Structure 1
């Protein structure tokens, strides 16, 4: 058994903001991928994955009991496959903000949901929202609370534009300019980050009036502008807004930025060689970078591994 492949994702814009109705833009990232597999020779990783799936199945049984109208699965087949050693074979790093649990959720839904919404049908806004709700409930097993966006991106393998919580659509982004010097890149922080504690920290800060004002008047304002600029290919304006956004994150989201990157973050803003932002919830994993000149960025960040995601 080798299932279809499900890819990682990158939330280019919208981390934390989408919890409070900012715009967001999420794109599939085909560099990392995963598939459901069964084989007899079990590695330690496969064993751990199989065990996690067993617990996930118990959670899904409970989920369908609570709300059978939302989603139902062929639980008999799923249980049998997991008992026979099925696991999720994945190259997607966990705790890196690129959707490892999202790809697993998409793979399980794709194979075992009994009345599934397929990628081939006309995906109306209602269907997208229903999928997002289903995926949010499924992925909550891994994160405590999930928006459902990561699995949705992985399942559809299309860029997704988030206009607000209840308004999402698949979208197109400008074609890459493979000869362009501008780039979006991933910077490996060298440590993993956990989503749940970071989101909890954010929710605590949301109790503070000043933080809420900053979020609305600065963070969401620049995030929304970045999304518009990126989709419309307004590169000059995009980098102006990215600089502002990077600054706001450095000033107000420091706990989400691994401490050894505080100086590098500021250096990017001061030199304009690159701008850094959170990739997912932060705390570790990947950091997302944007540059108008990838050679300059590589030189400035020569001690780190950069992975180019998109060329301008």
Structure 2
């Protein structure tokens, strides 16, 4: 048995903000993927994945059947015979490892599933998001459902607000373009749940709530608009502001050894860094108007280009 591949994703804009109704833009990232598999000689990783799938199967048995129904008998049979999720998606890196797994399980075992081939109305997208949110909560305690949605549909998703999401097109990449979005590997595994708890704790302070509304969400929304319209100049102006705001107000989410690097980008304009997912480790997302300049400036790190302007 080998199921279809599900890809990783990158939330270009909207981390934390989408919890409080900012815009967001999520794109599939085909560099990493995962699939459900069975093997005669499972590796240690496969055995570990199978144990985790067993717990996940028990968890989804308790999801409200009004929302979604699964073929539990078949799922249980497959899990008992050693099925695991074979994935190249790094865990704790903010590129949606649990999202791809959730998408794969829904695809294989859900009854009456909504497919990418039908007309994806807003209602259908919101229903999928609600199903995936319930399923992925097993991994994160609280999930928006967006990662699995992106992985399942494998198309860019524009988040206008919590109850308003749509499939979208993004400007075609300029393969010769100097501008780029890239990833840097922090070398640390990030944990989503504690970072989200910290954010929720901060939200109790009026000053933080104010900053989020008047600065963070304002620039996030502007970045999404700029990116979709191809307003590159304005995009970099807003990304720089976003990078500054994150350095000032989300410092605990940035690994310590990157504080200086973050500031260097803002001061030199060689690149601007932002969180990729919840932060605390994993990947860091970078934006640059000149990828060669950024590579020189970040010569100690390997940059993985995701998109070219």
Q: Sort the TM-score into its range (normalised by shorter chain).
A: over 0.9
Q: Which residue of 1 aligns with 2:42?
A: 42
Q: Secondary structure at the match of 1:62?
A: coil
- Which residue of 199, 204, 222 maps to 1:202? 199
Q: Which residue of 1 aligns with 2:11?
A: 11
Q: Which residue of 2 aligns with 1:277?
A: 274
1:124 aligns with 2:121: yes
Instruction: Count the aligned residue pairs.
Output: 309
Q: Which residue of 2 aligns with 1:167?
A: 164
Q: Which residue of 1 aligns with 2:25?
A: 25
- Which residue of 147, 150, 164 maps to 2:147? 150
Q: Which residue of 2 aligns with 1:71?
A: 68
> Cα deviation per residue 1:120-159 (whole Å; 9 max; x = unaligned)?
1111000000000000000000000000000000000000
- Which residue of 222, 246, 259 maps to 1:262? 259
Q: Displacement, 1:40?
A: 1.1
Q: Work out the CA distance in 2 between the residues paired with 1:49 and 1:299.
A: 39
Q: Which segments of structure 1 move beyond 6 Å, counting only runs of 4 or more?
A: none
1:248 aligns with 2:255: no
Q: Which residue of 1 aligns with 2:56?
A: 56
Q: Displacement, 1:115?
A: 1.1
Q: How does 1:94-133 map to 2 (within 5 A)?
A: 94-133=91-130
Q: Secondary structure at the match of 1:180?
A: coil
1:300 aligns with 2:297: yes
Q: Work out the CA distance in 1 between the residues paired with 2:204 and 2:255.
A: 23
1:239 aligns with 2:212: no
